[in-house]
Structure 1
Amino acid sequence: MSQTATIRGVILNDTKTPIYGVNIKAGSDGTTTNENGFFILKIPVDKDITIIFTHIGHKRVEAKFNLKNGQEIEFNPVMSINIEQIATVVINTNTRQKVDGVVTISPEVIRTVKGANPGVENLLKTLPGVNISNELSTQYSVRGGNFDENLVYVNEIEIYRPFLIRSGQQEGLSFVNTDLVQNVDFSAGGFQAKYGDKLSSVLDITYRNPTGFGIRADASLLGGSIAAEAVSKDSKFSGIIGLRYRDNSLLINSLETETNVRPIFADVQTYLTYKFSDKFHLNFLGNISLNKYTFTPKNRQTNFGTLDAPVALLVNYDGQEQDQYLTNFGAFKANYFATDDLTLKLIASAYHTAEEEYFDILARYRLGEVNSNIGDENLGDVEFSEGIGSQLTHARNDLDALIFNIEHKGDYTLDDETTLEWSVKYTHEDIRDRQVEWEVIDSAGFSVRPPIFDISNNQPYEPFEGPLVAFQNVRATNAVKIDRLQAYAQWSKRTMLGNNEVFYNAGMRIHNWTVNSAIPNQNGVSSSTQTVFSPRAQFAIKPDWEKDMLFRVAGGVYYQPPFYRELRDSSGTVQPDVKAQKSFHLVVGNEYSFKIWDRPFKLVSEAYYKNITDVNPYTLENVRIRYRAKNNATAYAYGLDLRLNGEFVPGTESWFSFGYLKTEENIEDRGFIARPTDQRLKFGILFQDYVPNIPELKMYLNLVYNTGVPGGSPSYADPYDFQTRLRDYRRADLGISYVLVDQNKMYTSKWKQKFKELSLGIEIFNMFDAQNTITNTWVRDVYSKRQFAIPNFLTPRVFNVRLSARL
């Protein structure tokens, strides 16, 4: 399949001196160590590979490996002269069938390519079918789905996000700490039954079990991180812990709105393992995260329009916003290796989030003509106001959520070719929410009423005597408990069909849930129980051809039982009887592996189609999703994803991506219109390079182009009346670094000997200073009474400095 894993390390003798010329054999492949004792070897994946280390005057060493595609590990054996050979070492990972169509991203690439929001999501946005049009956010949409339709696992434990976040500025850190990552798998659709009930994608992260002591640190103008790992002398206990701090002031202060902002984002995360015996291992994954965001806007000026008729919006602000999100997460995972063929697991986890969103902000605006006379001392000033008004927004939103999970998982290998996997999982969700949020708009001297009331107003000919009401007013208190029972079983088989290698996978999921609301909705419904069944299957064949190709087809029925946010309508009322959205997936793919310039390349092509029913329509503003809590729509999505990756530069990994997507929905049989995530074209590039004569000088280019999505409509607007798209999203981030210390070299300087890696670099975010938008602000013209869409721009060009080290 031309899929490989990488083993690297340094071979030492008893005195910790590197050994030159050690012969390393893995079947027909092999290599030798250099003068520093360093070696690197690529091996096939998903099978047992025995590697033999031999050297004149030293005892022979053998080690057995079974790794995932793209996985990189460090193995540092000590070759002895006077004692017997060390016992055979076995390094094994969970075998992953090649039928699943998973993209694997190297953790070294993730740690090297940082970006404005460093993390796994920063690289996901360069993959076809994945769209992120907000560099301040870690949320992403996949093949027409929204942010709530993506599954995230860390070591088989499901991860949750905060509920109330409405803008990328409030997010801070991704849950995934890249300093702890060993392996990253991503599936954009057609995934197996062992993954949960979501409509779009799966991000499957594996945190590593350390093999020795180490420290990794990173610091920049946006914050820093440090991670430490260690192993006990008897190798029974191992642990890794990471601390991160992020300050987005550099990015937020580059926006058009002048502010006083104090964003504090910090977390501590740990992954611990204790091996009671060879058969029983116990793991613990823990995380404490604090997002504290204080935002005091001062003023803003946005210029738009044309060269002939430039227009500017000037806004002065009073008030501030104070948000806080405190989340705690802990999970225990017990692994019992009953036999070589049977593994049993028990996972128990708890997630708690306490969220506050408080703001009172008064915005006074002027909309007017701009002085465009070149040479005039008042160039750029607003000389004549076409619109005046004010907006007062208020919120006192509190949410407290506690989620418990307990799950049994198992897998049994019938023979070398057939595997059975199963699971039973119980979840209890207890969510308490108070929403108090209103908005008053005064435009052109008049208080603007919400358009949902059918009240005649014949001013100035007749006086209007109706009450003054807020443009938006949401007041709701909810206490909701949800109990879920989930189970799956799946069968996988690898065999031969003639001379062709084939792979099968088939499975079934069942999901039963009960919603209990303390407050009945307007129809008197306070409780609802529903059950769905989700069959899924995959098939792949590797023909016995001279060209290395794999063909794959996957499909099934995917449900998304509603989470709390999907149950709450625009008035804040919980609707317990909301159904699960249902989607039929069909994915057809091809992988073609080949060589150019004697270096490996792979072209992955996938065409997909989704037919979605019982759709719960929503609006999207920045990263905030507001559902209608009604299953009154149908939808579809289809597209084509292409990705070419390989060593365009020797020793580095780069890729080029292209995606085409079309997704539309039909609400209440009014006809199909574009969905809020209908991003038609996508281009992504991740390119790494170095100076040939100065290999220590390295660079990366992370480039994304997405066509605009429908969005930015006024509040209460009918989506059928507002299908205007936001401008295209164009962004290029460039990073240049100089490697001061590399583990492939020996150094005489004492301070350099303390480091395994040390690099210093600069980053240019939004290198071409593209004016990207995330939403529109709507204001009224005093003369025509029409509304103008004022773009809310994202971050301009920003410079950053970064220092990375590993001990």
Structure 2
Amino acid sequence: MTKSEKILLLLIVLVNMAELGYSQSYGVVEGMIRDIKGRPIAFANIVNETEQTGTVSTESGYFQIKVTRTDSIILSFSSVGYVAQKVKLSVAIGKAYELNVTLTESTSEIDEVTISISNRRFGNIERINHKDIEYLPSASGSFEAILKSLPGVSSPHEMSSQYSVRGGNFDENLVYVNDVEVYRPFLIRSGQQEGLSFINSDMVDGVEFSAGGFNAEFGDKTSSVLNIKYKTPNENAAKAEASLLGANVLIQGIGKNQRFSHITGVRYKTSRYFLQSLDEGGEYQPAFFDFQTHLSWRFSPKFKVSLLGNISTNHYQFAPDVRETRFGSFNNALQLRVYYQGQELNKFETFQGALTGEYRPNENTVLKFIGSSYAANESETFDIIGQYLLNELDNTLGSTSYGDSLINVGIGGFINHARNYLRANFHRAEHLGVYTTENNTLKWGVNIQHEQIRDRINEWELIDSSGYVISQDPQLLSLKKHIKSNNNINNNRISGYLQNSNNIYLGSLSITATAGVRFTYWDFNDELNLSPRFSVIANPGWKNDISFHLSGGYYYQPPLYKEYRLPNGELNHNIASQKSIHAVLGTEYLFRAWHRPFRLQLEVYHKELHNIIPYKIDNVRILYSGENMANGFAQGIDLKVNGEFVPGAESWASLSVMRTYEDVKGDSYTDASGNTIHPGYYPRPTDQRFSIGLFFQDYIPRNPSYRVHLTGFFGTGYPVGIPSSERWDMLTRMPSYKRIDMGFTKSFKGANGNSLGNVSWLKDLWVGVEVFNLFNFSNTISYLWVQTVSNQSNEAGQYAVPNYLTSRRINVKISAKF
């Protein structure tokens, strides 16, 4: 164990022992906090106004707070979106007083507008108002769209649900739904091939997100955690939604005895309308389907069983016809024209199910037992023949041939062929537990996962420019790239954690200290890792509502299949887990401006990276080196302000400044003068220095049934290198990503409108129009690297032709709840 690890473990021990040095005589007030429908209110604030101490309720609505005075005290109960309530009572020292509280929902009514703020950060975890996603204009239609406007999160692809967090890539983000880990397809190359995200927005009840420094209860990735809880319905209802991009149907209900509940969603999506705006013309036939259900049986107050099931089929068929792309600069304007033959046919089918048993032997203990399985059947097949012309355009102002082809720079052809098939089966057994006493919460968990992967790769590429085949050896007529492999993998992973949280009160100062440790073992490389982690949340009890938090620890990421597959298709059995050491310091400040509530959040972070597996990104495809070749770091500042910029409607803006670098160990090259150059540190593929995210809502003051919703994003360009290059430091940068989407809605029935009168069977109805890419920005997602044998100077050349994202599109949507 290193010196730093010993210090960190000592800190964990001291944090858990801190409460032992603070004891005095006290009484206890405990009970449940519920809404008017009897549902528990999680994370409600309980403040002893007399003694200036406080706590928060658990996920089940339970709270417990210590009092040291015997005379009258005042307890205040509040939660965002509910009317605060104060209770005056007397508690005897050494006795327990039971108090159950019911809070009613608060509404800020501005001409019939009803909106409540529910975004709140609790240390290294942010709780997100998932209801905003219903009106959020998003080309992908995925739940993850709401994350992309948060600080530290970026995604330069409106058609993808993938996102990067603080310098990490798409594969470094943990996603849970009802404590079950969710996986993404292995073979997907581009956002246009992506279908529906696993998360069904209509089924979501609670959202937690951490951009780093998360606790030991969450698993083994190096970037972020998205933790989703699905609804347990308490009434019969249905929802239907349709647009030019697809349709969703949701049905939910409860049994007569209130012990059985179900919620089921069916979604269909087609992106053909969007794809027709790309430079690459042809016949697009994408079809994405998803079925998801969550069933729950409560056999007794102590025992409940739930079932989560998902079936997803994504079919993508494309027969390209012609492509015409203009690029370059004013002084060197170029045009690529490609004529195609052939087609591409991809299938990504996934099946996931989880059976959970939850047992509560007493009010302090929760025991969960989860059995889950994930199956993926993926195929990637294409035969594409292309003949291309690369021309220089006339840029002489006033010329009669302005914009036309002037000189041919290169001519050639290519053939791309693939027959790639992958099957994966993951089976997992897991136990989770929670034990709560007074101001202490102990959590633990252990799981074992068996993985079976069968991968068949047969992929090659031929490029012929001006009649000469371009290959890795110019003396041979051979394929530019050929990968063929046959891999069968059976391995096991075991992991677990132990975590303890203490609430400590020192006068007006309240501290929540959490410490824990995770372990992971992987039999593929016989690797055992220990990951100590901690977090401290401090509320000094000042007049201004401000809190501070500090978190960090060790985060190991045992490689998943793509990370230990070498570029030639073989497996690296000597691969090791990537390691990230997080340190996150932040603050949250609640204030009022213009007589409305606002929240300011600030975080500063540093991540030290070791055993990095370098990679290059092509669209949403990650090309790994398959070896632990580098060390690096990521550091930055995240800032977010949210609140009612317009009375009764929540909006937010975020700002991120970040840099992430890596250094490939022992790399060097020889320059034109014969000198040996060691590149040192250079930007990682996710190094986005500066980004701004925006979500804004507004309405017509005297007619709030008409509303507008706007999302905006600006991010500086990502580094990009030549995919076939062996040099990792040969980088340029893409242009900045700029996008604004706007949606307009008219409510006919519901909280913001009732023009349909008393239609009892219809609870909510609205119609919307969405304008995607309002200002028609030409954003670049990747490059097509065109090779030529000679140019005007009779020199071999390689041109980076930008692959642009979608242009302006208009969507019409209708949504109804019954």
The TM-score, its normalising length taken from structure 1, stands at 0.85
Aligned 8 A contact 1:70 1:105 in 2? no
Residue 182 of structure 1 is aligned with which of 183, 192, 205? Answer: 205
The residue identity in structure 2 corresponding to 1:761 is G
Partner in structure 1 of residue 464 of structure 2: 442
Aligned residues of 2:120 and 2:126 also touching (Cα < 8 A): no
Q: Distance in 2 between matches of 1:663 and 1:397?
A: 33
Displacement, 1:715? 1.7
How far apart, CA to CA, are the structure 1 residues paired with 2:46 and 2:329? Answer: 68
Q: In the superposition, relative to structure 1, how do residues 627 and 614 fare at CA in structure 2: closer, same or farther (>3 Å)?
A: same
Contact 2:660 2:686 in 1 (8 A): yes
1:484 aligns with 2:493: yes
Shift of 1:384: 2.8
Q: What residue in structure 2 maps to residue 627 of structure 1?
A: 624
> What does residue range 50-449 of structure 1 map to in structure 2 within 5 Å?
100-372=123-395, 380-415=403-438, 417-449=439-471
In structure 1, how many angstroms separate the alpha carbons of the residues matched to 2:101 and 2:535?
Answer: 34
Counterpart of 2:746, as a letter, is Y
Q: How does 1:593-672 map to 2 (within 5 A)?
A: 593-670=590-667, 671-672=680-681
Check if 1:756 corresponds to 2:779.
Answer: no
Q: Are residues 363 and 45 of structure 1, via their aligned partners in 2, closer, same or farther at CA, if it must alter by over 3 Å? A: farther
2 CA distance for matches of 1:613 and 1:754? 59
Q: Which secondary structure state, in structure 1, belongs to the residue aligned with residue 420 of structure 2? A: strand
The answer to whether the 8 A contact 2:747-2:754 is kept is no
SS of residue matched to 1:506: strand
* Letter aligned with residue 610 of structure 1: K
Q: Which amino acid aligns with 1:307?
A: F
Q: Give the whole-Å Cα distance in 2 for the aligned partners of 1:70 and 1:483.
A: 43
Instruction: Quote how far apart the aligned CAs of 1:446 are.
Output: 1.2
d(CA) in 1 for partners of 2:306, 2:722: 48
Preserved contact between residue 160 and residue 194 of structure 2 (Cα < 8 Å): yes
Mapped contact 2:738–2:777 kept (Cα < 8 A): yes
* Matched residue, 1:85: none
Instruction: Report if aligned partners of 1:142, 1:200 keep a CA contact under 8 Å in 2.
Output: yes
Do 1:621 and 1:712's aligned partners in 2 also have CA atoms closer than 8 Å?
no
| Residues 224-253 of structure 1: CA deviation (Å, up to 9, x unaligned) | 101010001110100000000000001111
Alpha-carbon distance change, 388 to 747 in structure 1, aligned in 2, over 3 angstroms: closer
Is residue 2:781 matched to residue 1:774? Answer: yes
Q: Which amino acid aligns with 2:273?
A: L
Indicate if the aligned counterparts of 1:6 and 1:72 stay in contact, CA closer than 8 A: no
47 and 581 in structure 1: CA distance in 2 versus 1, 3 angstrom threshold: closer
Number of the residue aligned with 2:568: 571
CA contact (8 A) 1:128 1:659 kept: yes
2:519 aligned to which of 500, 510, 515: 510
Return the letter of the residue paired with 1:771. S
2:172 aligned partner, one-letter code: E
AA aligned opposite 1:496: Y
Task: Say if 1:366 and 1:385, in contact at 8 Å, map to a contact too.
Answer: yes
Structure 1's 745 and 469: CA in aligned 2 closer, same or farther, altered over 3 A?
closer
2:465 partner amino acid: S
The alpha-carbon distance between structure 1 residues 257 and 712, as it changes in their structure 2 partners (threshold 3 A), is farther
1:71/1:182 contact within 8 Å kept:
no
Cα RMSD, aligned residues only: 2.7
User: Aligned partners of 1:7, 1:136: CA distance in 2, in Å?
Assistant: 38
Deviation at 1:223, TM superposition (A): 0.4
Q: How big is the shift at 1:754?
A: 2.7
- Maintained 8 Å contact 2:327/2:333: yes
**Structure 1 residue 712, shift from structure 2 partner:** 4.7
Question: Separation in 1 of the partners of 2:814 and 2:754?
Answer: 21
Shift of 1:128: 0.8
What is the distance in 2 between the residues matched to 1:122 and 1:348? 30
Q: Does 1:562 align with 2:559?
A: yes
Q: Distance in 1 between matches of 2:60 and 2:282?
A: 58
Q: C-alpha separation between the residues in 1 aligned to 2:34 and 2:153?
A: 27
Deviation at 1:103, TM superposition (A): 1.7
The answer to whether the Cα contact below 8 Å between 2:601 and 2:639 also exists between their aligned partners in 1 is yes
Distance 2:275 2:36 in 1: 41
Q: Which residue number in structure 2 is paired with residue 731 of structure 1?
A: 739
Counterparts of 1:160 and 1:27, CA distance in 2: 38
Which secondary structure state, in structure 1, belongs to the residue aligned with residue 300 of structure 2?
coil
Structure 1 residues 104 and 312 mapped into 2: Cα distance closer, same or farther (>3 Å)?
same
Question: What residue is the counterpart of 1:718 in the other structure?
Answer: 727
Query: Which stretch has the larger CA shift, 541-550 or 99-108?
Result: 99-108
Aligned partner of residue 646 in structure 2, secondary structure: coil
Contact 2:177 2:229 in 1 (8 A): yes
Separation (CA, whole Å) in 1 of partners of 2:688 and 2:436: 42
Q: 1:367 to 1:98 in 2, by over 3 A?
A: closer
Identity %: 40
Q: Deviations over 1:266-307 (max 9, x none)?
A: 010001100011110001000000000001111111111233
Per the alignment, do residues 566 and 791 of structure 1 end up closer, same or farther by CA in structure 2, a change over 3 Å counting? same
3-state SS in 1 of match to 2:192: helix
Partner of 2:749: 741
Asked whether 1:581 is paired with 2:566, we answer: no
Cα distance change on mapping 1:576 and 1:535 into 2, 3 Å: same
SS of equivalent residue, structure 1 residue 250: helix
- The reply to whether residue 674 of structure 1 matches residue 683 of structure 2 is yes
- CA pair 614-748 structure 1, distance change in 2 beyond 3 A: closer
Match of residue 506 from structure 2: 497
- Which residue matches 2:797? 786
* Change beyond 3 A, Cα 1:786–1:160: same
Shift of 1:727: 0.5
SS of alignment partner, residue 504 of structure 2 = strand
* Alpha-carbon distance change, 215 to 44 in structure 1, aligned in 2, over 3 angstroms: farther
> Which digits, 9 at most, give the CA deviation of each residue in 1:152-183, with x for residues without a partner?
00111111111110110111111100010111
**Aligned-residue offset at 1:647:** 1.2
1:677–1:709: 8 Å Cα contact kept in structure 2?
A: yes
Taking the aligned partners of 1:681 and 1:172, their CA distance within structure 2 comes to 29
Unaligned runs of 5+ in 1: 11-25, 29-42, 52-64, 74-87, 458-465, 516-527
Equivalent residues, number: 716
Alignment partners' CA distance in 1, 2:35 and 2:136: 21
Look up the match of 1:802: 813
What SS class does the counterpart of residue 653 from structure 1 fall into?
Answer: strand
Give the counterpart letter for 1:560 in structure 2: Q
CA distance in 1, matches of 2:307, 2:137: 27
Gaps of 5+ in 2: 1-32, 39-44, 48-54, 64-75, 84-99, 104-118, 668-679
Query: Aligned equivalents of 1:339 and 1:175: distance in 2?
Result: 34
**1:684-695 counterparts in 2 under 5 A?**
684-695=693-704
Mapped partners of 1:48, 1:135: distance in 2: 37
Contact 1:712 1:775 in 2 (8 A): no
The residue number in structure 1 matching 2:484 is 475
| Aligned-partner residue type, residue 779 of structure 1 | V
- Rate the CA distance shift 1:746–1:717 in 2: closer, same or farther, 3 A: same
Counterpart amino acid of 2:393? V
Aligned to 2:26: none
- Which residue is equivalent to 1:34? none
- Equivalent residues of 1:71, 1:183 under 8 A apart: no
Change in 2 beyond 3 A, CA 1:740/1:712 = farther
For 2:59 and 2:815, the matched residues in 1 are separated by 35
Deviation of the 1:376 alpha carbon: 7.5
